[in-house]
Structure 1
Amino acid sequence: MIPSPRRTQKAGNTTAGKATPTRKKSAPKTAGKKVAGKTAATIGEEGPALTDLVHGHLSRQTEPRTAAEVAKALTKAHPDRKISDNAVRTSTERLVARGKVERAKQGATVYYTAITPEASNAESVEPEKATA
């Protein structure tokens, strides 16, 4: 037996007592993108990016630091900026992915150290000597 074709539903009809959903019109798009309540043009006016601040701070340190320690130091150095531990942790992980910062775990604690250009050059030279 072949089933009969489905009936097309006319606009405004209801099925089983339920109204058909209507789409709401979205607000008109603005010219500048907004990020956290600020337009793209005003973002650069508040200073360097958090990633740059984190890398700069880690570059000046002689010992590994946790993300919370970095966030505390940056908050003290830049009281006009709201810097959260989670934002610093995300920025340091971004720097790790880019190869600018090294991550070391000790138990549940994660420490970060900036990679100096001399250290990264030495690491890239060693494998060449081993293969030659």
Structure 2
Amino acid sequence: MENHHACTIGLGSNTPDREYQITRAIEHLCGYLQKCSVSSDYETEAINGKDASYMNAVVHGYSQHDYDTTVKFLKDWEAECGRTQVATVEGIIPIDLDLVIWDEHIKRPKDFERHYFNRGYRELLAKGAYETM
């Protein structure tokens, strides 16, 4: 796809309505991206061992926009869903959207190595989501 950027986004939520938050985020992302592929959703324990468990998923698709515009789109959705600095410090994450891979470059190496991203990423690999267009 000419002038489209491949992107892989990790999703997470640890609020009581986390399944709903993940579903809404997937719908929102697939409205923004082209050729959207979505992993199943799955639960993982919080990295710090004390916050509520997370519901996670991974989405891969193609953005017509540049990197900064795409990241802003993700962060604007987080804010719209109620994510604030105070809530983050308190360990309450309505939705977390991290652009981990952009045009085959790992932008967030720590997230790329984490089990909460790798589970969905490996599932998308197995489904052929990363075959060249």
TM-score by length of 2: 0.26
Larger-gyration structure (1/2):
1
Higher relative contact order (CA 8 A, sep 6+): 2
TM-score by length of 1: 0.26
Say which structure is richer in strand: 2
